[in-house]
Amino acid sequence: MLIKYIFIPAAAAFAAYVLNKKNKKAGATITALVSAYLLVSLSLLYGSWELSQSFSLSLMGYQLEFLMALTPLSWLFAVLTAAISLLIAIFSIESQADFKFSSVFNLNFLLVIASIMGVFFARDFLTLFIFWELMTWTSFYLISSGKKKMAAKAAYRYLILSTAAAYSFLMAVIFIFQQTGSFAFEPAAQFLLNNSAPQSILLLSAISLPFLVKAGIFPLHVWVKDAHGNAPKEFSPFLSGMLLKVGIYGLIVVFHQLSFFKIIENTISYRGLPLLSYLFALLGAVTIITGTILAIRQEDMKKLIAYSSISQMGYIIIGIAIATPLGFTGSMLHLMNHLIFKSTIFLALAAVIYRTGTTKMYEMGGLIFRMPLTFAAYLTAIIALAGIPPTNGFISKWVIYQALIEKGYLFLALAAFFGSIASFMYVFKPLSTVFLGQLKPQHQEIKEVPLMMKIPMLILIGVIVFFGVFPGIQMNIITQISGYLGIESVNYSLYSIQGAFSAWNSLYIFNIFTAGFVIALLVFGFAKKSKLVGLLDTYSSGEYITDAESYHYAYQYYRPFDRLFDNLAAKSLTGFYETLTANLLKSGESLRRIFAGGRVQNYALYSVLLFVILAAVGWII
Amino acid sequence: MNNNFVKGSWQEILDWAQNKSINMLHYCTGCGAIELPPTMTSRYDMSRFGIGPAATPRQADMLLVTGYLSTKTLRRLIYTYEQMQAPKFVVGFGSCTINGGMYWDSYNTIKQLDKYLPVEIYIAGCMPRPEAILDGLLKLKKMINNGEADGYKRYEENLEFYHQNQEAVLGEVQRTQ
Amino acid sequence: MRNEKELLELINVHLDPPAAEIKRKQNVSVSIKQENLIQALSFLKSHSYQHLSTISCVDWLDEGEFELVYHLFSYDDYINISLKTRIKREPGVFQTAKEIWPVAEFYERDIHEFFGVEFKGNDNLEEMILENWQHLPPMRKDFDTRKFVNDNYEWRDYNGQKHTD
Amino acid sequence: MIDIIYRIGHFILITLFTTALGLLFMGIARKIVARIQKRYGPPFYQPYLDVLKLFGKDAITHGFIFDFGAVMALGGVIATLFFIPLGSWQLYSMEGTVLLIIYFLAVASLGMAMGTVGSGNPQASVGISRALTQMLGYELPYLVILFSLIYRYQTSSVWGLMQAQSGSFLNWNLFAYPLMALVAFVVLIGMMGKKPFDAMIAPAEIGSGPVVESGGKYLGMLLLQKSITIIIELALYVNLFLGGADNIFSFSFKMLIVWILATMFGSLFPRFRIEDGVKFFWKWPLGIAILQALYIII
């Protein structure tokens, strides 16, 4: 009975749309209820991996079969989706009170959830494609309903990349269908294994293109920044936390279930890793470095965190590509942890945006004295993101490092180190400029967000620390997944994970951490009490400060560092795509004049013609 | 052993530490600043007495006013002094801080520093030589050790007197203390 | 590239100054009527005297006049010109030169602060160096510094002997 | 129960000893710098007096984040301390992998950064921005060195790396991989913020950067934090390159020698601009470290 997980959110979507017209809070409440139901009911399914479902349909002489099944991998992703959408929905009950498009938002949000569930349960290409497209389109509408003008343009960039990738996917799938007569995964994997290796690799590359776009891997990362930066503030956590990971899910399917790794197993290799895998991991490394450098330059906090998402995806890609037990474990851990702490960051920022109405970092400052809980959420999340113990982010990064050092992949490790150390820089920027520093006069009256928005942040803070101490809980499901995919599993206990060279005990770490703090607190407490003074009473070379605004260091925070990369950033990839798009539009415009002349019927005719040609090409191949 | 005795001897220990470790904020508006480099560097080396420079008033124990003070700089000096943390000591340096020195009839330099801030010790001279500076600082150290350098307490007690004098020459003064 | 004599010639022909002389090498002093001054400044600026070094002021108390001196310099000729003009001490109002040199705004502010000269057209004449100054501008000749100091500051008492005695 | 008391006693003993040792090292460094500049210099026990004085002074705070930052800075380094083998003292050093220590040190830096920026002083922010940029400069070569050491000896615990060098002193990494030791030494100077890598504190320019608003006990705590940090960094260097030691005295002696050398080098150079410092680190130390790592993995 897997279809209900798709059907219920989809049905609820329309209910939410209708009811939300009456009451602004109804839509988000319904979303929360549906996600809660999904979460509970999916959690109860843990372990029943034989669950599957199929429908068949006869169309134009073809017997089409829609297959769905519950695997450990899809269970994990589905549960994560349900959990994160539950938190977001709770958060958005209050925060959407002033949002103009909240009905459409909830409609689309529930549809995205439904389609993502479909993607995860799909066991054949056709189901996968249908739900994938549904997901792309609904999330496109969600992104474009952001408040800013740029949102539409950003959404178009996202859409164009996704559509182009989807076509390549479709071509490859139709080709495989021609050969095997089935859309299901298993026959396709068999066929690809027995086929000539270059052709299989080409087909699989075409199939994985949409996943690469979705995951924001290096040359295709251009949509991520604008889409994240401009999406509605409540959707950004989902976009960064979950939608990017759907791409990773697809890649895991391609690599392991469509036997990409088996095909390239015996090709030329570097340090025991097939060269293609290594190149793919290098792509991940480049993604880390580009994302990091661009994140440091940003002045808009949502875009900054969006770039940070790009760079964190690089870690996951590296781990999956090297495909050692440790690497796979590390990247699955990082996937979960990134979901957790990145949603926390985006929720905290959403809370800030909810109160201040801006995303520019230099327009804020000193919010810690007004929104302490939001600050605490952000702080915990960035500690995790920077990989500092005792949080979950440290554990996953540590495992990935172990995997890289074990095999001696120097350059991948170098990129990983770079991304990790530089992440201090970019996560500290919003901390320093938004939460610390001088409080702006126009923000004097700001209050902490309402209770319904605090709850998700509090839960996420707890989860970050909890998984930082008990990584074994996450390891249970990861072991099941690696068993299912045929990867060796890693030794672990509730508190520790056995790395390549050594293990460590997170309970010890937590205790020692506490001990250190207690000693420091004692030193602090026994010393003289200090006097509280205002923020404006600071050292200013004897000059009186009256204007908090000009005494806040926020704009171009890392200028010396940025200067190092000014040349590189000038030749940005976005510029390249922009020129390409402009040229394409120009030629498209002239073509339109010649053929269509602006009449709708002509467009219809051409699309039919295109379809016929595509079908013919498919037939001939 | 009663409580006062413990408190008293603890204060003595602190005074002793304070006299051995003085961080100096040199407020170099006047020409006296030029005598400080030789005092600090290899010829005279004040650091052997535990006296060193501080970067900001928050870290400083001693405010060294090197030379004349116009009314405009006096305002900044008061602000700086109020930003310092007790125990804190003011040292007037050069004749200008004592009686105006060669600017005795200038319309905008103050004549007596101790009317505006509690001065522990003056170092006379125009300019005082490094030997004189060191001598003055050693006297200050002795005063601190004996618990006699209590300018910051006097400032607290006679706050009204100092504020009146300051406002007489400056008009309104923004305050943190 | 002109020398001093050629410059003097140029000035005599075009500006009609009451007095002009070569003070020494690379230094020319020109007196000019106050109504011609702005025009003279823009004339000289267009003839390579592009640098306004400063504006100074002299208080001629007995004659009841302020003398404003505009110090110009040319990077082509390497000559300083001191362009002098006299204005009445009362009411002490003159034209601003900030349309020609924006930096003049700053010098005029300084002169206003210390001599009390008003510059029409310059709306940024607030205090720069002094703070809360309520008295006569301190650089004027009729400002009695000694009296001001006696009134406003207290002398240190050396056993009954005042410092000033 | 006895075990827990023993543990806590050990915690406190190690903390006290390290703090005292770190302050002593700071005093010795001041003396050395003075002698290089032909001065007499303050007595070697000057830092103790400074700390005592600072804890006796009044202090101001700019709100709870200022307090929390100071506690986090000190607590972070104290916690890191327990993971490092100090001669024969091995509290949790079996658990501590090198990477863990590096990241633990970041807790302290984060705490200090947060607290001082929380004071609302832009000079603190400038200092922190510089410090973080510079950290990116020196951590990269350091992590590459750790990469090659871990790969070479197939263990990532400091204890294991130390044991791998036991036997003759020719087994020390200082002699086995002299280039690597040199790079680590340069990195050490950068880590400790000595010249030429001290643009983040620049007293005359940005009022000592991060500590601009810290007075009284806050400065005292940061001084303690600094002293412990020095010991941690030196201990890491001694353990990784000088073969560690089997008792605390010879261990301290080795640390002292490294510290004196670092101080001497540090007092010779003028200051790098931030981006030049980063460029330097990425050019020479990182280049040499990568070459060395390639030599080891191939």
CB–CB contact C146 B75 (8 Å): no
Q: Please, do chains A and C touch (3+ CB pairs < 8 Å)?
A: no
Give me the mean pLDDT over the A544-572 stretch: 80
The token pair at A346 is 């985006």
Q: Report the residue from C132, C148, C156 with minimal CB separation from B111.
A: C156
Q: How many angstroms away from the CA of A447 is the closest CA of chain D?
A: 17
Task: Indicate whether C147 belongs to any domain.
Answer: no
pLDDT score, position A151? 59
Which residues in B lie closer than 8 A to residue D42 (C-beta atoms)?
47-48, 50, 52
Place of tokens 């090198």: D98
Q: B79, A544 in Cβ contact below 8 A?
A: yes
At residue C27, the 3 state secondary structure works out as: strand
Closest CA to D125 of A178, A92, A435: A435
N-terminal to C-terminal alpha carbon distance within chain B: 36
CB–CB contact C154 B100 (8 Å): no
Q: How confident is the model at residue D24 (pLDDT cuts 50, 70, 90)?
A: very high
pLDDT tens digit sequence for B114-163:
889 999 999 988 888 999 999 999 999 999 998 888 888 999 999 999 99
Spatial CB neighbours of A210, under 8 Å, sequence gap ≥ 6: A132, A162, A165, A166, A168, A169, A247, A250
Q: In chain A, what is the greatest distance between 2 CA atoms, to the nearest angstrom?
A: 87
Size of interface B-C (CB pairs under 8 A): 45
Please give, one letter per residue, the 3-state secondary structure of A67-86: EEECCHHHHHHHHHHHHHHH
Q: Chains that contact A by 3+ CB pairs under 8 Å?
A: B, D
Q: Please, do chains C and D touch (3+ CB pairs < 8 Å)?
A: no
Q: Does B7 touch chain D (CB under 8 A)?
A: no
Residue D265 has pLDDT above 50, yes or no: yes
CB–CB contact B111 C130 (8 Å): no
3.40.50.12280, 3.40.50.720, 2.40.170.20, 3.40.50.10800: which CATH number matches B20-49+60-103+122-170? 3.40.50.12280
Q: B121, B136 in Cβ contact below 8 A?
A: yes
Q: What rounded mean pLDDT belongs to chain B? A: 86
Alpha helices in A363-438 (DSSP H): 372-385, 392-407, 410-430
Q: Report the residue from C131, C143, C146 with minimal CB separation from B71.
A: C131
Q: Report the residue from D95, D133, D224 with minimal CB separation from A508.
A: D95
Q: How confident is the model at residue A573 (pLDDT cuts 50, 70, 90)?
A: low
A545 to chain B: closest CA residue = B174
- Is the preceding peptide bond at A336 cis, omega within 30 degrees of 0? no
| Phi/psi at A448 (5° precision) | -65, 155
Q: DSSP for D70-124?
A: HHHHHHHHHHHHTTS-BTTB-SSTTT-BHHHHHHHHHHHHHHHHHHHHTTT-HHH
Place of tokens 């304070």: B18
Q: DSSP for A85-134?
A: HHHHHHHHHHHTTT-TTHHHHHHHHHHHHHHHHHHHHB-BHHHHHHHHHH
CB–CB contact B107 C131 (8 Å): no
User: Which run of H or of E encompasses D254?
Assistant: helix D248-266
Give me the mean pLDDT over the A9-18 stretch: 87
Q: Which 219-258 residues of chain D touch chain B by CB within 8 A?
A: 219
Which residues in B lie closer than 8 A to residue C143 (C-beta atoms)?
107
Pairing, β C93-95 against β C118-120: parallel
pLDDT tens digit sequence for D57-107:
888 888 888 899 999 999 999 888 888 888 777 666 565 578 888 888 888
pTM metric for this prediction = 0.88
Spatial CB neighbours of D5, under 8 Å, sequence gap ≥ 6: none
Spatial CB neighbours of B96, under 8 Å, sequence gap ≥ 6: B30, B32, B67, B68, B69, B102, B103, B109, B126
| Rounded Cα gap, residues B2 and B6, in angstroms | 7
| Rounded Cα gap, residues D164 and A295, in angstroms | 40
| Rounded Cα gap, residues A178 and A175, in angstroms | 5
Which residues in C lie closer than 8 A to residue B172 (C-beta atoms)?
132
Residue B34 has pLDDT above 90, yes or no: no
Residue A621 has pLDDT above 70, yes or no: no
The token pair at D230 is 């020095």
Q: How many angstroms away from the CA of C129 is the closest CA of chain B?
A: 8
User: What ipTM was predicted for this assembly?
Assistant: 0.85
Q: Report the residue from C131, C149, C156 with minimal CB separation from B107.
A: C149
Pairing, β C93-95 against β C51-60: unpaired
Q: D88, D235 in Cβ contact below 8 A?
A: no
Task: Indicate whether C159 belongs to any domain.
Answer: no
| Rounded Cα gap, residues D149 and A258, in angstroms | 38
pLDDT score, position A154? 66
Q: What rounded mean pLDDT belongs to chain C? A: 87
Instruction: Name the residue ranges covered by the structural domains of chain B.
Output: 20-49+60-103+122-170
Q: Report the residue from B18, B21, B55 with minimal CB separation from D207.
A: B55
Q: What rounded mean pLDDT belongs to chain D? A: 87
Q: Report the residue from A533, A537, A542 with minimal CB separation from B76.
A: A542
pLDDT tens digit sequence for A178-210:
888 778 888 888 888 888 888 888 888 888 888
Q: D51, D63 in Cβ contact below 8 A?
A: no
Residue B1 has pLDDT above 60, yes or no: no
Closest CA to D108 of D153, D70, D77: D77
Residue C163 has pLDDT above 70, yes or no: no
Q: Can you say how many angstroms the Cα of residue D81 is from the centroid of all Cα atoms in its chain?
A: 11
pLDDT score, position A176? 86
Q: What is the DSSP letter of A449?
A: P
Q: What is the DSSP letter of D43?
A: -
Q: At what angle do helices A392-407 and A301-322 cross, to 10 degrees?
A: 40
Q: B88, B63 in Cβ contact below 8 A?
A: yes
Spatial CB neighbours of A146, under 8 Å, sequence gap ≥ 6: A154, A230, A231, A232
Q: Does A539 touch chain B (CB under 8 A)?
A: yes
Q: How many angstroms away from the CA of D59 is the closest CA of chain A?
A: 5
Looking at per-residue pLDDT, the higher value among A507 and D262 belongs to: D262
pLDDT score, position B138? 92
| Rounded Cα gap, residues A425 and A385, in angstroms | 11
At residue A154, the 3 state secondary structure works out as: helix
| Rounded Cα gap, residues B139 and D278, in angstroms | 47
Q: Does B18 touch chain D (CB under 8 A)?
A: yes
Best of B107, B167, B170 to disrupt the C interface (most C CBs within 10 Å) is B107
Query: Which domain, by its residues, includes C102?
Result: 4-135
Q: Report the residue from A421, A500, A532 with minimal CB separation from D63.
A: A532
The token pair at A291 is 């994302």
| Rounded Cα gap, residues B176 and C22, in angstroms | 58
| Phi/psi at B120 (5° precision) | -80, -45
Q: How far is CA C24 from CA A283, A318, C35, C85, in A?
A: 75, 79, 27, 20
| Rounded Cα gap, residues A211 and B56, in angstroms | 55
The token pair at A430 is 């919003």
Pairing, β B89-93 against β B119-123: parallel
- What is the number of domains present in chain C? 1
Residue D194 has pLDDT above 50, yes or no: yes
Looking at per-residue pLDDT, the higher value among A352 and A150 belongs to: A352
Q: How many angstroms away from the CA of A436 is the closest CA of chain B?
A: 20
The token pair at A70 is 């519950």
- CA A303, A308, A314, A316 torsion: positive or negative? negative
The token pair at B104 is 């005795």
| Rounded Cα gap, residues C16 and C11, in angstroms | 7
Q: A349, A430 in Cβ contact below 8 A?
A: yes
Best of A523, A528, A529, A545 to disrupt the D interface (most D CBs within 10 Å) is A523
Pairing, β B22-27 against β B62-66: parallel
Q: What rounded mean pLDDT belongs to chain A? A: 83
- CA A410, A411, A414, A420 torsion: positive or negative? negative
Q: A591, A237 in Cβ contact below 8 A?
A: no
Q: At what angle do helices A26-44 and A72-95 cross, to 10 degrees?
A: 160
Residue B15 has pLDDT above 50, yes or no: yes
CATH number at residue C92: 3.30.460.80
CB–CB contact B79 A542 (8 Å): yes
pLDDT tens digit sequence for A361-399:
888 888 888 889 999 999 999 999 988 878 888 888 888
Q: Please, do chains A and B touch (3+ CB pairs < 8 Å)?
A: yes
Closest CA to B162 of B98, B117, B123, B111: B117
Looking at per-residue pLDDT, the higher value among A600 and A27 belongs to: A27
Buried b (16+ CB within 10 A) or exposed e, B42-54: eebbbbebbbbbb
Task: Indicate whether C30 belongs to any domain.
Answer: yes
Task: Indicate whether C150 belongs to any domain.
Answer: no
Residue A568 has pLDDT above 80, yes or no: no
Place of tokens 């030789």: B38
pLDDT score, position C150? 85
Q: Report the residue from D40, D203, D216 with minimal CB separation from B85.
A: D216
